[in-house]
């Protein structure tokens, strides 16, 4: 602290009196000093120009807030005869005006020159402030000392919008009603989201239809289902689960079969379910084409129940694999570091029970131990699904008024009760009025129900509430988005979510559209209009770009849109030519990685890869705009080639012989390019990570390293070193650089420098090895998986508590980790001060090889300390 300040005074040459230290600090904008002085108990309101007024005149709003919070008097004048509200209104300091109004300051007081706060805001054109004052109850007819109203002042200074606003409030006489709409009430804005996931034909549409059927409809649905069942062959009973999760061939076929109309895209409807109330039901098609867009709709929500459906007609191993697929799909699309209460509930629903030999109890409950067995097996394979319910609902989805539907409804009703207890009231009249207005807005925008945020705000103000501030509208849109009433993405607001899910995405991602799409995936707006004429092409393209489905490229003045999703160009021969002289010499560099999802998760990358291609294109465009035109990107079906001057890379989605998908990244460079190659690979990984974070922040990724020796020899199927082997070797070695791993394909060893650093030992100084990183560096999905393994009480007590002891935490700290409300392991992993290496060792010592393996396979192998751009 400056000593002259701490003494408490300073001289202001402009004024003929001395400022206190607080006034001086407030005027100079020193928040830290203001805080210090307030804490030291200095007087807040001394002098003819109090600190609050001085801060406001200098537009130091943060300081003004601190002073107000500390209790500065806001009902005193300064030497100019102005109250704080006058200064804030003149300068348009909306948040301060808001704070002053909330503190109950007088909003009609006049300045020495006879102007009211409203006149000052009107004169200076601050419409947001005018709204705020009106909402706070300011008299709109107030006159200044010349007997002139504020709307006339606004007109005089050319602020017609303000004049119009005040005029409308006066003419309609609705000011009080509109102001009341903006006051939060104690009623929570709660609408449940019911989401249905599952393979084609498992009964999602049927379940939704039955849920919405009234009494009359339910009679009809029951009889039609009886008819349809007659024609179906009954399946053999499944007496035992023949677990076969290792054989992946064809087990996850996403084809829709049978004679029924498969849902296109996402069907969204709002239902009033008896005993539950308004519920938004999201039905996600089982067709694979649509998976790349589901992340936009699967946000974590405590107000949601996600049903994962499977058919009891399928074999037990297929049931397990399908359920695991969908649970992993869901987990991947939600951030993994939220408290479990934020995720909502997940429940399994076994369908087609009428086609098995299961029997019903007297009250109509189906008895089918196989369904429960499926759940138990799934829980063993994926123990970390937050809020997965412990029982399965077993049903014939075509029989609405049956016991399982009552079970489902009562689960929803319980969830609603729980949410009601936990939700703070946020329901405002504005939300209610907007919900009523949305219907007419949808009609007005029937052709293309998409608006920019500013147009939405403008319409809302002119048709619902002229006093709504930007902040009110932002909060409102967020509530509407989570209720499924609108869909907000970047600057756009889609006011019909069912149109977005069904007519737009349902159509554009349908197999039929794919069949006729341009094979290159590149469209001009005219081409696109010709292929999709249901709405304005430019508007749709903007929306699709905001959804990361396409990228706009300006190619020598011509605007084109690249849709990697439609790209079906085949790989060209010679893209990775072994004869290319630049990369054939002895000193040329080769390296590469493979990205896998953990064992037991299948088929997760296909829906993500087009997003990686979008991200690669964006990275290239950003480089072009930096005038770095040496970069080039060529993309084909599930593959991209990125070149940077003389460096080349191939990024492809591959599938091995057991249908396991992985992403392969190969890099090569000429002589003496080791450092360039290293950082080029890192840059590509960053771009990929960016796409992964956007689409699937909860997906666990394993990074395996390809043999540089074999890459250089262009061997078919080069050896790939799994990350657990590399990390184990690092842990065991005295020095990481001594690590050498055996490659059975070539019967030779490759060193860590060759595998990671393109043989350049100088890079070692820029690298921190994985085992030495802190456990906080573990990605959230790894932590979540560890929670699933270590949280449940274990037979020998080898759980989080013992782990905490081994990691050196004292009893007090361990006790502090204990809580009934969230995961102990998660708190241990976020607070303990230890390295990843120490964690692995401790887990081994505890004989928790399952948890150790998770860390070994997915922990980072290294982290770059110093990044050099290439």
Ligand X SMILES: Nc1nc2c(ncn2[C@@H]2O[C@H](COP(=O)(O)OP(=O)(O)OP(=O)(O)O)[C@@H](O)[C@H]2O)c(=O)[nH]1
Binding residues for ligand X, rule: CB under 6 A, are: 198, 200-206, 228-229, 232, 256, 258, 260, 262-263, 285-286, 351-352, 354-355, 396-398
Least distance CB 221 / ligand X (angstroms): 9
DSSP string covering 122-179, please?
HHTT-HHHHHHHHHTT--TT-B-TTS-BHHHHHHHTT-HHHHHHHHHHHHH--HHHHH
- Separation in Å, CA 609 to CA 125, 141, 286: 50, 61, 19
Least distance CB 247 / ligand X (angstroms): 24
Nearest residue to ligand X, using CB?
203
Least distance CB 505 / ligand X (angstroms): 14
Least distance CB 856 / ligand X (angstroms): 38
Least distance CB 502 / ligand X (angstroms): 12
Tell me if 491 sits within 8 A of 452, measured CB to CB.
yes
Least distance CB 590 / ligand X (angstroms): 44
| Nearer to ligand X among residue 209 and residue 694 (C-beta) | 209
| Nearer to ligand X among residue 200 and residue 809 (C-beta) | 200
| Nearer to ligand X among residue 262 and residue 524 (C-beta) | 262
DSSP string covering 731-789, please?
HHSSSGGG-EEEETTTTEEEEHHHHHSTT-GGGGGGEEEGGGSBGGGS-HHHHHHHHHH
DSSP strand pairing (304-311 vs 345-351):
parallel
Instruction: Give bridge partners of residue 652 from the DSSP assignment.
Output: 639, 664
Give the integer Cα–Cα distance in Å for 339 and 341. 5
| Nearer to ligand X among residue 295 and residue 352 (C-beta) | 352
| Nearer to ligand X among residue 200 and residue 834 (C-beta) | 200
Tell me if 137 sits within 8 A of 107, measured CB to CB.
yes
| Nearer to ligand X among residue 52 and residue 371 (C-beta) | 371
| Nearer to ligand X among residue 298 and residue 802 (C-beta) | 298
Least distance CB 513 / ligand X (angstroms): 16
Cβ neighbours for 209, distance < 8 A, ≥ 6 positions apart? 221
| Nearer to ligand X among residue 288 and residue 548 (C-beta) | 288
Least distance CB 442 / ligand X (angstroms): 25
Give the integer Cα–Cα distance in Å for 785 and 782. 5
Joined tokens for residue 529: 């209009």
3-state SS string for 719-734: CEECHHHHHHHHHHCC
Tell me if 705 sits within 8 A of 726, measured CB to CB.
yes
Least distance CB 618 / ligand X (angstroms): 32
The distance from CA 305 to its chain's CA centroid, rounded to whole angstroms, is 18
Give the integer Cα–Cα distance in Å for 457 and 480. 14
Least distance CB 68 / ligand X (angstroms): 56
| Nearer to ligand X among residue 201 and residue 302 (C-beta) | 201
DSSP string covering 673-732, please?
-HHHHHHHHHHHHHHHHHHHHHH-TT---EEEEE-HHHHHHT-SS--EE-HHHHHHHHHH
Tell me if 576 sits within 8 A of 640, measured CB to CB.
no
| Nearer to ligand X among residue 147 and residue 231 (C-beta) | 231
Least distance CB 202 / ligand X (angstroms): 4
Least distance CB 266 / ligand X (angstroms): 10
| Nearer to ligand X among residue 258 and residue 717 (C-beta) | 258
| Nearer to ligand X among residue 227 and residue 811 (C-beta) | 227
Q: Which residue has the tokens 């008895």?
A: 367
- Separation in Å, CA 15 to CA 24, 47, 112, 853: 12, 12, 19, 72
Least distance CB 204 / ligand X (angstroms): 3
Least distance CB 832 / ligand X (angstroms): 44
| Nearer to ligand X among residue 117 and residue 203 (C-beta) | 203
Give the integer Cα–Cα distance in Å for 858 and 765. 23
354 phi/psi in degrees, rounded to 5: -65, -20
Give the integer Cα–Cα distance in Å for 730 and 196. 44
| Nearer to ligand X among residue 267 and residue 588 (C-beta) | 267
DSSP 8-class letter at 402 = S
- Separation in Å, CA 335 to CA 330, 692, 697, 780: 10, 11, 5, 8
Nearest by Cα to 544 from 507, 597, 516, 584: 507
């Amino acid at each position: 602290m400056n000593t002259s300040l701490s003494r408490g005074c300073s001289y202001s040459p402009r004024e003929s009196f001395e400022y206190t230290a607080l006034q001086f600090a407030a005027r100079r904008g020193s928040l830290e000093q203001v805080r210090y002085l307030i804490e030291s108990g200095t007087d807040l309101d001394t002098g003819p120009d109090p600190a609050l007024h001085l801060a406001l005149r200098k537009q130091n709003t943060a300081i003004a807030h601190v002073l107000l919070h500390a209790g500065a008097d806001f009902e005193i004048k300064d030497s100019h005869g102005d109250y704080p509200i006058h200064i804030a209104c003149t300068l348009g300091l909306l948040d301060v005006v808001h704070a002053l109004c909330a503190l109950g300051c007088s909003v009609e007081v006049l300045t020495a020159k006879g102007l009211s706060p409203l006149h000052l805001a009107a004169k200076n054109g601050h419409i947001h402030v005018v709204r705020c004052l009106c909402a706070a109850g300011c008299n709109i007819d107030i006159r200044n000392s010349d007997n002139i109203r504020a709307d006339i002042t606004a007109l005089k200074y050319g602020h017609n919008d303000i004049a119009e606003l005040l005029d409308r409030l006066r003419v309609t006489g609705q000011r009080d009603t509109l102001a009341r709409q903006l006051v939060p009430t104690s009623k929570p804005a709660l609408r449940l989201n019911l989401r249905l996931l599952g393979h084609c034909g498992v009964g999602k549409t049927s379940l939704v239809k039955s849920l919405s059927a009234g009494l009359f409809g339910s009679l009809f649905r029951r009889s039609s289902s009886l008819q349809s069942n007659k024609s179906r062959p009954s399946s053999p009973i499944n007496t035992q689960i023949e677990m076969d999760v290792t054989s992946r061939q064809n087990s996850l076929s996403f084809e829709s079969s049978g004679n029924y109309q498969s849902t296109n895209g996402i069907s969204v409807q709002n239902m009033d379910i008896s005993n539950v109330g308004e519920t938004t039901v999201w039905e996600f098609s089982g067709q694979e084409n649509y998976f790349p867009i589901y992340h936009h709709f699967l946000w974590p929500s405590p107000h949601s129940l996600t049903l994962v459906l499977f058919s009891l007609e399928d074999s037990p191993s297929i049931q397990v694999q399908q359920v695991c697929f969908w649970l992993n799909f869901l987990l991947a699309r939600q951030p993994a570091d939220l408290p479990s209460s934020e995720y909502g509930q997940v429940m399994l629903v076994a369908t087609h029970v009428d086609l098995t030999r299961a029997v019903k109890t007297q009250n109509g409950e189906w008895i089918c131990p196989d369904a429960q067995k499926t759940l138990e097996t799934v829980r063993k394979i994926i123990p970390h699904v937050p809020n997965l319910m412990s029982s399965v609902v077993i049903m014939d989805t075509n029989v609405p008024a049956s016991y399982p539907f009552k079970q489902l409804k009562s689960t929803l009703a319980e969830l609603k009760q729980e949410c009601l207890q936990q939700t703070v009231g946020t329901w405002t009249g504005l939300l209610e009025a907007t919900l009523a207005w949305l219907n007419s807005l949808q009609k007005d925008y029937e052709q293309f129900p998409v608006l920019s945020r500013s147009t939405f705000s403008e319409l809302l103000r002119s048709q619902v509430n002229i006093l709504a501030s930007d902040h009110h509208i932002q909060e409102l849109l967020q509530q509407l988005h989570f209720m499924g009433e609108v869909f907000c993405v970047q600057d756009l607001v889609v006011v019909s979510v069912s149109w977005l899910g069904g007519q737009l995405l349902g159509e554009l991602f349908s197999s039929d559209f794919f069949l006729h799409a341009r094979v290159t995936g590149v469209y001009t707006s005219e081409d696109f209009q010709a292929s999709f004429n249901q709405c304005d092409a430019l508007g749709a393209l903007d929306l699709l770009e905001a959804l990361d489905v396409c990228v706009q490229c300006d190619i020598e003045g011509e605007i084109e849109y690249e849709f990697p999703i439609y790209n079906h160009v085949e790989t060209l021969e010679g893209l990775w030519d072994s004869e290319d002289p630049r990369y054939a010499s002895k000193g040329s560099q080769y390296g590469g990685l493979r990205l896998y999802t953990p064992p037991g998760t299948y088929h997760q990358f296909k829906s993500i890869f087009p997003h990686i291609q979008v991200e690669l294109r964006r990275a290239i465009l950003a480089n072009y705009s930096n005038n770095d035109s040496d970069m080039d990107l060529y993309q084909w079906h599930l593959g991209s080639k990125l070149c940077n001057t003389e460096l080349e890379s191939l990024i492809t989605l591959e599938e091995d012989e057991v249908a396991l998908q992985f992403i392969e990244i190969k890099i090569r460079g000429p002589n003496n390019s080791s450092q360039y190659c290293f950082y080029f690979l890192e840059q590509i990984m960053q771009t990929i990570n960016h796409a992964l974070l956007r689409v699937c922040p909860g997906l666990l990724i394993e990074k395996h390293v390809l043999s540089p020796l074999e890459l250089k020899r262009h061997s078919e199927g080069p050896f790939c070193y799994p990350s657990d082997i590399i990390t184990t070797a690092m842990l065991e070695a005295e020095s990481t650089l001594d690590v050498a791993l055996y490659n059975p394909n070539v019967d030779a060893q490759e060193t860590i420098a060759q595998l990671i650093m393109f043989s350049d030992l100088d890079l070692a100084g820029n690298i921190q090895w994985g085992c030495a990183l802190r456990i906080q560096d573990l990605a959230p999905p790894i932590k979540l998986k560890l929670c699933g393994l270590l949280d449940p009480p274990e037979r020998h007590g080898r759980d989080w508590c013992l782990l905490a002891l081994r990691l050196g935490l004292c009893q007090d700290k361990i006790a502090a980790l204990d809580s009934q409300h969230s995961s102990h392991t998660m708190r241990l992993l976020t607070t303990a001060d230890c390295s990843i290496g120490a964690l692995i060792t401790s887990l081994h010592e505890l004989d928790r090889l399952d948890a150790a393996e998770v860390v070994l396979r997915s922990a980072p192998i290294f982290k770059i300390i110093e990044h050099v751009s290439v």
